Chains A and B, each alone.
Chain A
Amino acid sequence: MPRRLLRDGGIVLDDWHTTSDGDVPDNGALILTFAEWQADRERWLARSGRLGVVLAPPDEVERLVPDLKRLTLAGADFPGPSEGRGYTQGRLLRERFGFTGELRARGAIRRDHIFFLARCGFNSFELPESELGDAAAALSTFSAAYQLANDIGLPAALTPRSPARPA
């Protein structure tokens, strides 16, 4: 059964594959880990299909930057519920390096994480099937924010109230 995920606030079928899905056709959309990407970069670049790379927590965003233009999807992996490095990876990809494609969070994430992930620029979330139904509502957990961040993944603009600026 194909995976479903939350993307841009809606539940959609996942049109991406990973190397563990078996043989992916050359024109299929393929998500690689950063380790896989590095190990065989030339081969992946020669594919005709769309490419995505998901960073593990210790992977440095900066090392992916030279290839960002070739990627349709970037992402961060969250091996545990308290892993926090992906939040920084997301912000840097969006805000410092201008990545505009799909930014995906995967791993041990639950609906309780996705509001803040969305504020860090993530717009797609691999969640357990049982959580998908209610997950979109979690993107509206808060109506305002104290920080200017990158809210591309949120359904509605937050009321801005930076502590740095007058109300």
Chain B
Amino acid sequence: MYRYDTIDRALVRERVAEFRDQTRRFLDGEMTEDEFRHLRLRNGLYIQTHAPMLRVAIPYGLLAASQLRALASIARHYDRGYGHFTTRQNLQYNWPRLEQVPDILAELAEVEMHAIQTSGNCIRNTTSDPLAGVAADELEDPRPWCEIIRQWSTFHPEFTYLPRKFKIAVTGAPTQDRAATLVHDIGVHIVQGPDGERGFRILAGGGLGRTPVIGQVIREFLPRKDLLSYLEAVLRVYNREGRRDNIHKARIKILVRSLGLAEFTRRVEHEWQLIDRSRLEVDEAKIERMRGFFAPPAYRSLADVEPAAGQDAAFRAWYRYNTAAHKVSGYRAVYVSLKKPGVAPGDATDAQLDLLADLAERYSFGEARVTHTQNLVLADVEQGKTFELWRALAQAGLATPNIGTLTDMICCPGLDFCSLANAGSIDVAKLINLRFDDYDYVYDLGEIDIKMSGCMNACGHHHVGNIGILGVDKGGQEWYQITIGGAAGAEAALGTVIGPSVPKNEVAESIARLLDVYVEYRRDGERFVDTVRRLGVKPFKERVYAATAAA
């Protein structure tokens, strides 16, 4: 993975010193709450319902064992012994004390981590494919490009105060798109150009929130040396022309929509022609140097084995659902499920983080990845060692065999922690887990995802859930609006609302009725989302509300 040099190290330390001074000035009354707000947000610090919330950047989701241990140590000493992995591959602490945040940042800096630009109206953490470098369907490892973008976007002087937050995602496997690039402000796809050379397809204007939009292609092919100058052109057009009068209309998707795709693209291309591109050119030597950081680890020469054969049923289920194919024979990518029933989706304790550091060192070359579905991945595990890894994970509650199934829910922190939320999401996840505790049934349902947000800011990506759940406030009560037919990935689509929202205690039952319709009408091998697409919303809607009326 990328390692800091003296310049990277100096920059994060200088940032800690700057923020320490800003925090002191605020606590001493030299700065107003509003003045401090803009500064703390650029360091990932929110003021939440109970306490500040600190969002730590995990660039493109990649973590070294030493970093996992530092995150565990911070959870133990400054928080309540856990952290929450988010849909943007970051980690959030829910209980730090404001005056200790500079110390936390200093500890992060020691392990080459930071909270720079994890909130505020600036370029956020660049996200990517959790199977980068190991997936067989990948054209090229996207991580060197992610790091190039990370550096370019870090402390970019011109784009420090954008109209709104700005999120970039990169994938080297556009046909699968495990990075949800279609719902980002900019999506970058590594593609093969007309003459066989590698470059990028650039998408813009995707995003969730109040007005969900699927990103559209603004350039089919960009030579790779021009990536940064093109991003700079997009950002400059957005910084100049994006709306600043209404926070709900300030994302780039609104600008793209109001100008129209053709006119927006024309303005970007015009700006790009005027930019001094040579200054931003990514030369081959730089690409090679960056690739060196992400070179494949020292894989052993192994034949594929069938480790599941003869083992017990629990292991077989786990192996089937929680491991994925690896491009090197004899290896598997192992998902660590953070979706144990009864635990808030995406939460990990300090002990679990420490254990994962050990397991990463023992089984996966000392690295782990965070997925946008709020799980972790140990990407380079020998097939023959999966059984012992499974046992270690299972003992720590990290082997719930549910990846890609109904109970692998994406979920925001919701009303329990977030001051924006209308409704809780963690306890709804618990209710759904209670209702669907029969794994045979869950496995029979096959590939299906539930995504849940506590408010329309859509941190839980509910619009692109096969089943989406949105918390709404109804006269001070927590109610939930349900959508179906959404999808993330390469076939991204926005879900359709099935009807009026339902109270908390009816969410799980409503989902059960949706699934009943699916089980009745599905054709052989048809996924839930495909059945919804074929039949439309009507039969699902009728079942949910008719049953309610009869009940």
Contacts and interface: CB of A to CB of B under 8 A. Distances in A.
For A119, A149, A162, A167, the residue with the greatest tally of chain B CB atoms inside 10 Å of its CB is: A162
A120 interface: yes
A82 B281 contact: no
A147 B7 CA distance: 13
Contacts, number: 108
Interface stretch (B147-155, B317-325, B394-402): B147-155
A148 B152 CA distance: 9
A142 B155 contact: yes
- Chain A interface helix/strand/loop/mixed: loop
A144 B161 contact: no
A91 B38 contact: no
B401 to A, nearest CB: 41
A145 B157 CA distance: 9
A84 B159 contact: yes
Question: Which of under 10, 10 to 19, 20 to 34, or 35 or more describes the interface residues of A?
Answer: 35 or more
Given A81-B38, A142-B14, A161 B7 contact: yes
A139 B151 CA distance: 21
A96 B158 CA distance: 14
Nearest to A81: B38
A54 to B, nearest CB: 17
B160 A88 contact: no
A120 B161 CA distance: 13
B158 A149 contact: yes
A70 B84 CA distance: 57
Contacts of B155: 116, 142, 145-147
Contact of B283 (A119, A120, A166, A167): A166
Given A85-B239, A85-B240, A146 B157 contact: no
Contact of B157 (A57, A112, A116): A116
Nearest to B232: A147
Nearest to A60: B240
B170 interface: no
Contacts of A46: none
B47 interface: no
Interface string A93-104: 001100000000
Interface residues of B, number: 44
A143 interface: yes
B307 to A, nearest CB: 41
Nearest to B34: A81
B236 A112 contact: no
Interface in A132-167: 141-149, 159, 161-167
A148 B279 contact: yes
A116 B160 contact: yes
A116 B156 CA distance: 8
A145 to B, nearest CB: 7
A112 B240 contact: no
Interface of B: 5, 7, 10-11, 14-15, 18, 22, 34-35, 38-39, 121, 147-152, 154-163, 228, 236, 239-240, 244, 274, 276, 279-283, 285-286, 289
Interface of A: 57, 81-85, 87-88, 91, 95-96, 110, 112, 115-117, 119-120, 141-149, 159, 161-167
The 3 lowest CB-CB distance pairs between A and B, nearest first, are: A84-B161, A119-B157, A163-B151
